[in-house]
Amino acid sequence: MSAQVIDGRACARALTQSLEADVDRLRQEGPGIGLATVVVGDEYSSGAYERRLRRLAGRLGVPYTPQTLPGDTDQDTVLARIAELNADPSVSGVLVLRPLPRHIDEAAVFQAIDPMKDIEAVHPENAGLLALGVPRFVPSTAASCFHLLDTWLDSVGEDRAEFYHRANIVVVGRSNNVGKPAISLGYERQATVQSVDEWADRTTGIGRYTRWADVLIVAAGKAGLIRAEHVGENAVVIDVGINAATGPDGSVHMVGDVDHDSVAPRVRALTPVPGGVGPVTDVWLLRNTVTAARLLAGQPIDRARPSLPTPARVLLEAS
């Protein structure tokens, strides 16, 4: 039997509908909303992501300011550009796309973003709030992983709390923007969470951890990293990876970190690439941009987080 495919595009469509209403309400109430992205260089995955965000912002009628800088731009110029966006009242959310070129200090760039406009929660203040379980913004990729999981659990009639409390969630990859936030969201659901990184792969191999996963979240950026021998039979696999693959005719297409052909016959459910984590990530980022616009306008944010197993609600106020 082949795995159920968790349809990210369908989830994204449903989320977009509620977001359209939020954006309309913002327009009527007055606070400006605007998304700005900063891309340095021409890396495949960030280019693909930027184009998707541009399209979605256009569809929602959210003003969009792309800042595309050449790969050899020096750090001071990048920081100056971020300072301009921080000061620009028409911009409510700022996203710096990764990876940045090696000569740029990523931590310095993230610290330069106004925490109230930091829609990906990479500033230490927002990363800290997330780690403490009281996020101002839930980083979009990790949010997407758990939104897809929650939606799938609902669709198969499983109780979320019961599932997560028993679940062993294994997260492959430990980046500050994807792996670590996913770990935090797993903790938030009171699951058992394991984090596996490159060193496990180089030493003992990752299979000894990943095979025991009830939920396997893979965010390593390595095409074909997860194959049939790495997964257990009841696993739900969330493939975050975006990699460029060249076909026999020389054309470039997108693949994830999971070898879908070998894994699909073994597991319970998995997300496709493309059409899985990516579309929901995009909508979540715009959703965070709405949150930022409200916070900047001094509006209290009563953000229900329906995807939590317990009916947790977070009341955030503009600081």
Residue 28 or 246 having the CB closest to ligand NAD: 246
Residue 134 Cβ vs ligand NAD, minimum distance, rounded to whole Å: 23
Which residue, among 83, 114, 109, has the nearest Cα to 96 in the 3D structure?
109
Residue carrying structure tokens 């909508």: 283
Residue 69 Cβ vs ligand NAD, minimum distance, rounded to whole Å: 19
User: Is 153 in contact with 191 (CB distance < 8 Å)?
Assistant: no
Which residue, among 200, 144, 203, 131, has the nearest Cα to 172 in the 3D structure?
200
CA distance 109 to 127: 14
**H or E element in which residue 237 lies:** strand 236-239
Helix intervals (H) in 170-318: 179-188, 198-202, 207-210, 260-263, 277-296
Q: What six digits make up the tokens of 51?
A: 């184009």
Residue 31 or 224 having the CB closest to ligand NAD: 224
Residue 91 or 206 having the CB closest to ligand NAD: 206
DSSP 117: G
Residue 294 Cβ vs ligand NAD, minimum distance, rounded to whole Å: 24
Residue 202 Cβ vs ligand NAD, minimum distance, rounded to whole Å: 7
Q: What six digits make up the tokens of 7?
A: 């349809």
Phi, psi dihedrals of residue 115, rounded to the nearest 5°:
-55, -25
Residue 162 Cβ vs ligand NAD, minimum distance, rounded to whole Å: 28
Burial of 28 (0-12, 13-18, 19+ CB in 10 A): exposed
Q: What six digits make up the tokens of 189?
A: 């659901």
Residue 168 or 176 having the CB closest to ligand NAD: 176
User: Is 303 in contact with 316 (CB distance < 8 Å)?
Assistant: yes
Residue 158 Cβ vs ligand NAD, minimum distance, rounded to whole Å: 24
Residue 243 or 296 having the CB closest to ligand NAD: 243
Residues that bind ligand NAD (CB under 6 A): 45, 98, 141, 172-175, 177-179, 196-198, 201, 206, 219-222, 225, 240-243, 277-278, 281
Residue 69 or 244 having the CB closest to ligand NAD: 244
Residue 151 Cβ vs ligand NAD, minimum distance, rounded to whole Å: 16
